[in-house]
Structure 1
Amino acid sequence: MLLLLPCRLVAYALESLDLEKGSAIAIDMPMNCKSVVIYLAIVLAGYVVVSIADSFAAREISTRLKISNAKVIFTQDGGTAMFYGRYDGLKCRVVDAESPMAIVIPSRSSGFSMKLRNGDLSWCDFLERVNRMKGKEFIAAAQPVETFTNILFSSGTTGTLNFVFCLELMHIWTKSFCDPKAIPWTNITPLKAAADAWCHLDIRKGDIVSWPTNLGWMMGPWLVYASLLNGASMALYNGSPLGPGFAKFVQKFLSLHILPRSQHKEGARGCNAGSSMLPQLSLVRSWRNANSTSGYDWSAIRCFASTGEASNIDEYLWLMGRARYKPIIEYCGGTEIGGGFVTGSLQQAQSLSAFSTPAMCCNLFILGEDGHPIGMPLWNGKVGISFSFIISGIPEYLQLSFSSQVLRRHGDVFERTARGFYHAHGRADDTMNLGGIKVSSVEIERICNGVDSNIVETAAIGIPPSGGGPEQLAVAVVLKNSNITPQDLQKLRMSFNSALQKTLNPLFRVSQVVPAPSLPRTASNKVMRRVLRQQLAEHNQSSKI
């Protein structure tokens, strides 16, 4: 009820804007209580959420607003706590993006740090339009199951996308075959998220789930549905999760009594049955290096989960030790399917930094170079995914069955071991995973090519560390003047970082710049980034030896 009342009020306020039903409404905010209320209210009132990560530069915000044809954007004024503790003006970037009408939430009680544009609304003025409706029931918009409710963006998409229910808004796809790609969620997508959470991560009624993320990434909306549809609560931290403040926050919510002890299922540890879900390995590395969890008690955590980045066994063991060696469930999926395709399970023996099973209702086929499935017992190649997913408990005419149709080809290289576990070995295509964010090499190269007049061309590659963990961004560069010193390369690396962080994403960092006389190419003149990736990985390994 505490969540329902503000959602109803915001839904009434949205209707007062006189937008056509199905209009796109963007959210570019930190993931906090207000942004979750706004998200649910948009869906409740029959509009479509446009999810934009709060770390994006103005250019990226503008691109997503244009692709989605958003009519309104919700944003926050003043300093915004970025994921990595960086503070920046979110409202300034939305203005620079030339957004449509903005509804602006103040970040502090003293008011706004900058004057609103003509046509923009403050949060208070927006709600005051419907104050008379406070407490009144809002009748949810009744829509077909295939109706779009959320547009997210991904530059990591590969292969074909055969959504059987993506017909009425196909113009979104035709406008976005170049990165970033628009990924629509429908009324059925939340069921996939909730089913994964219940089946594989054991999220259940009365649990508290913490997963530091943002509504602009798949795991933000996933967290909303995975927790609420299973009767759990979200624990949203207002600030950077890297320091001891977050560790204290976790200890605090683990002491909460969401349900009486007698209502918890047998086997729940502690009266809260808490689950703390931690999406990126870089978080664990930061906690470990800074000893951020020292003095805080996480022993009541029932399980961890990880997604977004490649795993590192040593850091996983350290994390498990913070909670008396509770298990870590690996979870890998995609925005297109609203959940995972390969995961771990509390019902099976687990292996560190490995997956133990395809996700529920999902079949995996590891493909060789010829695109055909590789047989047992040892598989190593790209992953193809098919679904057999029937929704029960709803009228027959609403049921959807994927009936083993191939949905997509995933861009990661996977190995299936003789013991039946799956290991991820990074991207196989022209995208990379930087800090849990999938980004196209072409996007990075476009920016790097314009940094210096001495650059002929560049190739951006994600290099997995030899000991496991997140990919590191390396840039191979072909120069007009090949007489270049190590100091020149360092200056070029800093210039690349500055341009990428200003234009693309403030979280991206180039770790290595490598000069090359030319780039390897196919007969059709395509850059062979996979060859470069292999050469750089071997060079880095031999240098360490």
Structure 2
Amino acid sequence: MEPIWYPNPEEIQATRLFRFMEALGFRDYEAFYRYSVEELEAFYHQFFTHLGLPWRKPYERVIEGGFPLPRFFVGGRLNLVEAALSHEPTALALIHETEEGTVRALTYGELLEEVERVAAGLRALGVERGDRVGLWFPMGLEAAILLLATAWLGAIAIPIFSGYAAEAAAVRLKDAKAKLLAVQDGFHRRGRRVELLLEARKAQALAETPHLLVVRRLGLPLEAGELDYASLRGEPFPAEEMKSMDPFMLIYTSGTTGRPKGTVHYHAGFPLKAALDLALLFDLREGDRLFWFTDLGWMMGPWAILGGLILGATVFLYDGAPDYPGPERLWRMVEAHRLTHLGLSPTLVRALIPLGEEPIRAHDLSSLRVLGSTGEPWNLEPYLWFFRAVGEEKRPIVNYSGGTEVSGGILGNVLVKPIKPMGFNTAVPGMAAAVLDPEGKPVVGQVGELAVLRPWPGMTKGFWQDEARYLDTYFSRVPGVWVHGDLALQDEEGHFFILGRSDDTLKVAGKRVGPAEVETAAIAHPALKECAAIGVPHPVKGEAIVLFAVLKPGFSPSPELAQAVADRVAEALGKPLKPERVLFVPDLPKTRNAKVMRRVVRAVYLGQDPGDLSALENPEAVRAIQEAAQG
């Protein structure tokens, strides 16, 4: 596959990456990347010195020890909030637009004042260093303020997805033994009031969380014992001096079985990795305006807030639907706020395509410089649409893949090299990534497990109070190597492609294929909007492929259409990989950030326990899968 985007010399030399490379004496990216993984300590020291982080006490070593439990910035002391807010006080830090259209903004100076006020109020309520604080918010100013205020006083934030019901939130609060739950009383989603406070009261009772602090966006009345965010008061105090690996955040991720696992992130980890990736991959500069369509409860919410602020950018926050009250919503916000960076998931892009291109063309997107994408593998058609319709065939798409436990990316695109459709032109600088064969050896030109061979600042400190599960998840397959769980391929030119989760891998008659390959072949049929491929037991082949497909408007399910879709896959991938069944459903189970949950589709199809469903935005899709499987 040939590249679709090429940088020109002027663009290359203007990037933060090139300027940093040049400062280190490099003009060739490949030589720079080798340096970044062969001289890990020197690389990370140089980059964070380049950023000018305000260490209270300088570190003695960047990395001490190897996998599975290394230590980073040993002996160093800082508070991540000082790193995030040490910028010109009059520069714009945050802009928040609600679905109803209300816009509020804070400069760095105003944000610092609010963080100090709220941190003082939290301490007055009895929140102390090391205490856990649940943050149940959509994206907004208070979400960012409370995330920073919690870190300011040395407590540990637990971001909670704004779409959860009470039980899902309570599981996380109880596991962490949270001292306080802060919640926004509600927000609007597609014009409807979502009264989050009612669920928060149930969650507080289930988890036995002592305190409930409420941001009254909808003005819901408080009950006895509940605390009003607006009335927080306390004696201001300097930010707590923290050791480099003192935790500041637990992000809970949903697994296929068992309780959600809390990934532990520390002051000199997650925020610094976010800033590195945003600087070197996305070329986020001081004064740029970053918008990633996400939620505080997903990794990309805190990632955008903390990474963007550390780099002195303006972070744009939005808490509504992307197409409400009309299909122009996203593009109107890009124009109105002069956004420079826009991050969307592939599934969200697929959902935007049927809305047409006229809403895009009707708005001035000239401020946009970089497009971003993460969450799942791409299919070719929506990728090309995003590049052409939104990128105008000139803006690069920085494809980005890693995870919550990584604090950002393992693979990405840098803007000094050509970019191939759906791919990654590099492992992230500082990430010693490789594709491994079944024997654990690095391979090129064949599908294998994506792995990281050496530690990096930002990798989770483990799972909260569950070290054995952490070790089993990442280090049980290849000794001394982080095996991430993604199926990947690296071509001869050094470009990577993610083919899906390795536990989603299909093995039909001895041939391994990623679900994304099957889905890309199927979605080339003009009737399909999106689809999910799963592998099911087969007495002869070992596994057979079943494809669940969502149709575009104007198409109706029929046996003939199912056969045509199956034939399209066979034509693209070969007859052995022809789907055994093609089933039509109105929707696929997805998380709020639009990630398709294939494991749920497979489990429901086979009549098995689908595991934790708390992350689903559309649980009704599960019933549709059941009905289609039984039909």
TM-score, with length taken from structure 1? 0.68
Residue identity in the other structure for 1:218: M
Q: 1:212 aligns with which of 293, 296, 308?
A: 293
Q: What aligned pairs does 1:55-94 form with structure 2 within 5 A after superposition? A: 55-81=163-189, 88-94=194-200
The alpha-carbon deviation at position 78 of structure 1 amounts to 3.4
Q: What aligned pairs does 1:12-91 form with structure 2 within 5 A after superposition? A: 12-81=120-189, 88-91=194-197
The alpha-carbon deviation at position 277 of structure 1 amounts to 2.8
Q: Give the corresponding residue for 1:324.
A: 392
The alpha-carbon deviation at position 407 of structure 1 amounts to 5.7
The alpha-carbon deviation at position 310 of structure 1 amounts to 1.5
Q: Give the corresponding residue for 1:523.
A: none
Residue identity in the other structure for 2:172: R
Name the Cα RMSD after superposition.
3.7
Q: Give the corresponding residue for 2:308.
A: 227
Q: Hey, what's the Cα distance between the residues in 2 that align with 1:420 and 1:145?
A: 34
Contact 1:57 1:506 in 2 (8 A): no
Q: Which has the higher helix share?
A: 2
Contact 2:162 2:297 in 1 (8 A): yes
Q: Give the corresponding residue for 2:520.
A: 466
Q: 1:346 aligns with which of 412, 415, 431?
A: 415
Q: 1:416 aligns with which of 490, 496, 501?
A: 490
Q: What aligned pairs does 1:135-534 form with structure 2 within 5 A after superposition? A: 138-155=237-254, 178-189=258-269, 190-242=271-323, 243-254=327-338, 274-291=339-356, 292-321=359-388, 322-325=390-393, 326-370=395-439, 372-376=440-444, 378-387=445-454, 389=456, 406=480, 408-429=482-503, 465-467=519-521, 472=532, 505-508=616-619, 509-510=621-622, 512-513=625-626
The alpha-carbon deviation at position 379 of structure 1 amounts to 2.7
The alpha-carbon deviation at position 107 of structure 1 amounts to 2.1
Contact 1:75 1:91 in 2 (8 A): yes
Deviations, residues 205-236 of structure 1 (Å, cap 9, x unaligned):
11100001112111111101221111111011
Structure 1 counterpart SS, 2:344: coil
Deviations, residues 257-296 of structure 1 (Å, cap 9, x unaligned):
xxxxxxxxxxxxxxxxx53232311222222211342411
In structure 2, do the counterparts of structure 1 residues 70 and 343 end up closer, same or farther at CA, with 3 Å as the change threshold? same
Q: Give the corresponding residue for 1:107.
A: 217
Q: Hey, what's the Cα distance between the residues in 2 that align with 1:476 and 1:89?
A: 40
Structure 2 counterpart SS, 1:466: helix
Q: Hey, what's the Cα distance between the residues in 1 that align with 2:276 and 2:587?
A: 44
Structure 1 counterpart SS, 2:249: strand
Q: Give the corresponding residue for 1:453.
A: none
Q: Hey, what's the Cα distance between the residues in 1 that align with 2:113 and 2:587?
A: 51
Q: Hey, what's the Cα distance between the residues in 1 that align with 2:290 and 2:260?
A: 29
Residue identity in the other structure for 2:340: S
Deviations, residues 317-357 of structure 1 (Å, cap 9, x unaligned):
22223243211011001111211111111011110100111
Deviations, residues 4-32 of structure 1 (Å, cap 9, x unaligned):
11111101101101233210001011011
Contact 1:462 1:471 in 2 (8 A): no
TM-score, with length taken from structure 2? 0.60
The alpha-carbon deviation at position 103 of structure 1 amounts to 1.0
Q: Hey, what's the Cα distance between the residues in 2 that align with 1:218 and 1:494?
A: 22
Deviations, residues 294-322 of structure 1 (Å, cap 9, x unaligned):
41121221110100021122222222232
Structure 2 counterpart SS, 1:201: coil
Structure 1 gaps, min length 5: 158-176, 255-273, 392-404, 433-460, 478-485, 517-545
Q: Hey, what's the Cα distance between the residues in 2 that align with 1:380 and 1:16?
A: 55
In structure 2, do the counterparts of structure 1 residues 10 and 421 end up closer, same or farther at CA, with 3 Å as the change threshold? same
Contact 2:452 2:482 in 1 (8 A): yes
Q: Give the corresponding residue for 1:519.
A: none
Q: Give the corresponding residue for 2:31.
A: none
Q: Hey, what's the Cα distance between the residues in 2 that align with 1:390 and 1:151?
A: 16
Residue identity in the other structure for 1:360: P
In structure 2, do the counterparts of structure 1 residues 464 and 17 end up closer, same or farther at CA, with 3 Å as the change threshold? farther
Q: Hey, what's the Cα distance between the residues in 2 that align with 1:225 and 1:466?
A: 34
The alpha-carbon deviation at position 202 of structure 1 amounts to 0.5
Residue identity in the other structure for 1:252: A
Residue identity in the other structure for 1:103: L
The alpha-carbon deviation at position 390 of structure 1 amounts to 7.3
Deviations, residues 390-410 of structure 1 (Å, cap 9, x unaligned):
79xxxxxxxxxxxxx946211
Structure 2 gaps, min length 5: 1-108, 459-478, 507-514, 524-529, 538-557, 559-582, 590-599
Q: Hey, what's the Cα distance between the residues in 1 that align with 2:341 and 2:202?
A: 37
Q: Percent identity?
A: 26
In structure 2, do the counterparts of structure 1 residues 6 and 390 end up closer, same or farther at CA, with 3 Å as the change threshold? closer
Q: Give the corresponding residue for 1:173.
A: none
Answer 1 or 2: higher relative contact order, Cα 8 Å, separation at least 6: 2
Residue identity in the other structure for 2:344: P
Residue identity in the other structure for 2:454: F
Deviations, residues 355-398 of structure 1 (Å, cap 9, x unaligned):
1111111112212234x12433x13111111335479xxxxxxx
Contact 2:490 2:496 in 1 (8 A): yes
**Residue correspondences, number:** 415
Farther-moved stretch of structure 1 (181-190 vs 279-288): 279-288
Residue identity in the other structure for 1:22: G
Q: Hey, what's the Cα distance between the residues in 2 that align with 1:37 and 1:79?
A: 17
In structure 2, do the counterparts of structure 1 residues 2 and 355 end up closer, same or farther at CA, with 3 Å as the change threshold? same
